[in-house]
Structure 1
């Protein structure tokens, strides 16, 4: 008598998603991740090793720093970009900048000196509380944003417009800023859950709002999702944003980042691969990547981390 063999489906019927498009993955470990007060700034050699591993795994882009922050960040960006060029890595480079021409100029310099095109991720606060603290008007935010984006585009660089605290910003403000950014030449909009305010429903809603706005303008503009874990929703929000149409998701190795951290890149990778519908990444390199980031930052992983250290 033969035993009946159960059908094992790689994807549970209960986990059906609306959006099966493979997302791009963007790493923020070496920029936003280092905002954690307990994380050390790795040496440039350690940063280069981390970028190599991200490339091996199949991550699409990496933020290599804020070159306008000073001589060392600038030198590190040059060295990392040169290493990326000499090794012919597939991963693309990005850098952070305030919405100031003087912040974007150094990124143009890095591109000219290394041949590696730097994506400009230019950021400014947009929520009412940020407006109050900084004493900014919407008109000032819009003006600074347009000037910065236009300068980056003039320099031949792709520009992502990053509104800090997007998830606490009213729709009418986002509409005004996003439309101005797109008209100025931004090729992507980055939605930031800067203080971990959003729920998965909120992530879906704001992505759908942004998609509708872009469609209404007849523009071809990508949507990034950048999340933090203050409420413990970072991973769930990232997956919800992706399901709603965000085509690039940010993460940091070990979840390192401001306060309680950013979306964990390794958890995001494992969930996408385990799902089985989005292709594969070289996830066997995750433990090595986590080890490199730990050694470079001395940021300790959770003792119950599922992919790295004692409990893995």
Structure 2
């Protein structure tokens, strides 16, 4: 560590926990239902883009949000830019707002800006006006030169002005009101409560006239538990609580925006503002995708539709021009992919157990949700590289061909795949693995096979319900044994490895041919068990001409046919 970096840490002050509450209740609670959601993709998310959205991109994002089920959408800051104003007017004048969707617009606590914002909403059927002013000591002192009384009066006067202008312009609008003490997480809690109470005295929330009080971690500075304490303080201290929707707007500067939002819900929050995939200023707003699918993974309906996560990601990437990281929770390219051999093995066993038991509850190792529920496919769950083990290749063969390979065959084939991965560099696709398996172990029925030397034996492993194995050999076994004897091969034993092929319902056979210490495997599938056994033995016998070294390498794969 450089000395300069070591000294630099001294200029940062650890925030003191603002609440000393021995009676805090939120740590013992659990989340049991989804909050109200507000998407601020078109406002907070858009203003953070190096290349803000065009009207076409905004409309595409708006339609994505409404199709997913978002019913509160902050569509812009209409006095901040002509583009925001014109987009708002487009939505209103072209009647593009669904009947169950409420749009929201943001405005600073300034007279002229409030008037113009109200005017921009003329003709809107339903809308929320969101007013904010910074309340933290630093901003009061450094930015605005205000004391506490002046800061509170600014919030109160802005609320009065909004009501005055709305009475003139928005008589036919179902108008809602939201107030945010900006930099709430850096503001004295008693002052935040005092300002909110003063604002409510003007708005007069009551039955049929709620208010949204929104508390942002404008710049995230503390651990999430501190924010939860702050929210619980407001939840307990606010009057007219039954008419207040307590909302939070977490940012992600410390990388804990999701934790802050979830702990805030435990502490009494009812509504969360954020962006799809965490877009927003600096490190972004809290990620609505992660929050919703965290609920989904615990059996709680999030109230929004993520059944096609790839489409959500594609639209967000196109609208924001920001790529989604491959490790992004739930949406990234690699989040349903296992490279580790031990992980792959556990995943395969989980799927096998689920199939065997017919379980309905989702309990698959390393997969918190079923990829199929969000429009991802099982084929992308496992990718094979040089670090992969037998479980990964076994899963690929099982999922693509329906074959349940014996363990020794899994080990042998895993060696071949890893050798191929080392030779080619990088992961091997599932289709390539299936191709390697077929070339190495499956022989065309008409391929001539040299007669093996004497003393060759075979153990047959049958993967299918069509063949019953018992203490007394069946006529089928006797016929197969006679045929193999003519090929100078002794049938030593027959084992069952499965109950049928998932994809075809046929019978798979794995022939373990021995002519020394090392087995040679052959594989075949057929509806008729005798045909499958003979074909599998033929496939194994065809490999007798290869040297042990060549059977270990992937070189013969290109010549096998």
Q: 1:166 to 1:143 in 2, by over 3 A?
A: same
Contiguous gaps of at least 5 residues in structure 2:
1-26, 206-210, 336-561
Partner residue, 1:12: none
Contiguous gaps of at least 5 residues in structure 1:
1-14
CA contact (8 A) 1:25 1:249 kept: yes
CA contact (8 A) 2:216 2:249 kept: yes
Q: 1:310 to 1:122 in 2, by over 3 A?
A: same
Partner residue, 1:9: none
**1:168 aligned to which of 186, 201, 219:** 186
How many residue pairs match? The answer is 294
Q: 1:303 to 1:126 in 2, by over 3 A?
A: same
Alpha-carbon shift at residue 21 of structure 1 (Å): 4.0
Q: Determine the C-alpha separation between the residues in 2 that align with 1:206 and 1:287.
A: 36
Aligned-residue CA RMSD (Å): 2.2
**2:261 aligned to which of 238, 259, 274:** 238
Partner residue, 2:89: 78
Does residue 104 (structure 1) correspond to residue 104 (structure 2)? The answer is no
Q: 1:287 to 1:91 in 2, by over 3 A?
A: farther
Alpha-carbon shift at residue 140 of structure 1 (Å): 2.0
CA contact (8 A) 1:273 1:281 kept: no
CA contact (8 A) 2:326 2:333 kept: yes
**1:127 aligned to which of 123, 136, 143:** 136
Alpha-carbon shift at residue 307 of structure 1 (Å): 3.7
CA contact (8 A) 2:34 2:301 kept: yes
Alpha-carbon shift at residue 27 of structure 1 (Å): 0.7
Structure 1 residues 179-225: Cα deviation after superposition (integer angstroms, max 9, x where no partner): 1111121711110101112422122211111111224x566111111
Q: 1:20 to 1:151 in 2, by over 3 A?
A: farther
CA contact (8 A) 2:128 2:178 kept: yes
Q: Determine the C-alpha separation between the residues in 2 that align with 1:240 and 1:286.
A: 25
Alpha-carbon shift at residue 91 of structure 1 (Å): 2.4
Identify the range of structure 1 (276-285 vs 59-68) with the bigger mean alpha-carbon deviation: 276-285
Partner residue, 2:247: 224
CA contact (8 A) 1:40 1:299 kept: no
Alpha-carbon shift at residue 102 of structure 1 (Å): 2.1
Within a 5 Å distance, the mapping from 1:232-311 to structure 2 comes to 232-308=255-331, 310-311=333-334
Partner residue, 2:149: 139
For residue 179 of structure 1, give the secondary structure of its aligned residue in structure 2.
Answer: helix
Alpha-carbon shift at residue 166 of structure 1 (Å): 0.4
Alpha-carbon shift at residue 151 of structure 1 (Å): 2.6
Q: 1:268 to 1:145 in 2, by over 3 A?
A: same
Instruction: Tell me: higher relative CO, structure 1 or 2? Use CA pairs within 8 A at least 6 residues apart.
Output: 1
Q: 1:285 to 1:104 in 2, by over 3 A?
A: farther
Question: Under a length normalisation based on structure 1, what TM-score does the superposition of the two structures give?
Answer: 0.86
CA contact (8 A) 2:55 2:83 kept: no
Q: Determine the C-alpha separation between the residues in 1 that align with 2:61 and 2:99.
A: 12
For residue 64 of structure 1, give the secondary structure of its aligned residue in structure 2.
Answer: strand
CA contact (8 A) 1:223 1:248 kept: yes
Q: 1:309 to 1:233 in 2, by over 3 A?
A: closer
CA contact (8 A) 2:46 2:53 kept: no
Structure 1 residues 88-120: Cα deviation after superposition (integer angstroms, max 9, x where no partner): 25221001100123222233223323x333211
Partner residue, 1:45: 56
For residue 307 of structure 2, give the secondary structure of its aligned residue in structure 1.
Answer: helix
Partner residue, 2:356: none
Question: Under a length normalisation based on structure 2, what TM-score does the superposition of the two structures give?
Answer: 0.49
CA contact (8 A) 2:78 2:105 kept: yes
For residue 38 of structure 2, give the secondary structure of its aligned residue in structure 1.
Answer: strand
Partner residue, 1:8: none
CA contact (8 A) 1:54 1:289 kept: no
Q: 1:82 to 1:199 in 2, by over 3 A?
A: farther
Partner residue, 1:117: 126
Alpha-carbon shift at residue 57 of structure 1 (Å): 1.4
Q: 1:171 to 1:86 in 2, by over 3 A?
A: closer
Partner residue, 1:184: 202
Larger Rg: 2
Q: Determine the C-alpha separation between the residues in 2 that align with 1:264 and 1:306.
A: 10
**1:55 aligned to which of 66, 78, 81:** 66
For residue 275 of structure 1, give the secondary structure of its aligned residue in structure 2.
Answer: coil
Q: Determine the C-alpha separation between the residues in 2 that align with 1:89 and 1:297.
A: 27
